[in-house]
Amino acid sequence: MSRIRFHVLAALCALAMAIPASGAALEDIQAKTAEGRAVFVIVTDAAARGLEKARAVAKAAHERAPNSAVVELNRSDPAQRAAVAKYRVAGAPVPMILVVAANGSPVGAVRPAKTFAVDRLLALVPTVAKAKYMKILGERRVAAVVFTRASMRERSPLFEEMSKLASMEDLKLGTVLVDLDDTTEERWIAEWKLDPKTIKRPLMIFV
């Protein structure tokens, strides 16, 4: 059930990718994600209370995730109108910390007053493969998640077939390759309740 809720959140958040980007905050966020960094976006406005707490939480999360950045988005500033529209935060309770993955996809948000807010923020930061997966779902395409490793003999012919399928526009298929030996993907592999040690052949899951 939790996986279903996650998929819905991913799809809703990634819809924001379709809105054109401009404005100071967006430019800053895009510059950071272009460097391959996740961004903790502090969303606030002129009436928000608890901004210092939000800043402290975002700073603590950034310190625990060095390959990240913190950007502040004041929705009361007319210059940030495009950013507010893109991330759909016009009616969101503030202050709020939005997480934007390194591929530019917004993946979730946390209220800084929540218990364990820093841990919740860090848990939202996706791995490279997970971020790609969420982006595909947000584009309303089918995701083919392939769990494999370099030593598998079936890997090459499988990749050839997947490439052919991906080229068929009617399928609207997006492929996500997950290396079972990649330690940076361990957390996401665990979310699928998979044990890499027991997987001897490529495993493909369509979502």
Q: What is the pLDDT along the chain (207 residues), one digit of tens a residue?
A: 444 444 444 444 444 443 334 458 999 999 999 999 999 999 999 999 999 999 999 999 999 998 999 999 999 999 999 999 999 999 999 999 999 999 999 999 999 988 899 999 999 999 999 999 999 998 899 999 999 998 888 888 887 877 777 777 677 889 999 999 999 999 999 999 999 999 999 999 999
The whole-model pTM stands at 0.76
Residue 111: which of 131, 92, 97, 132 has the closest Cα? 97
Q: Which pLDDT tens digit goes with each residue over 144-187?
A: 999 999 888 888 888 787 777 777 767 788 999 999 999 999 99
Q: Report how far Cα 193 is from the mean position of its chain's Cα atoms.
A: 20
Q: Identify the DSSP state of 192.
A: T
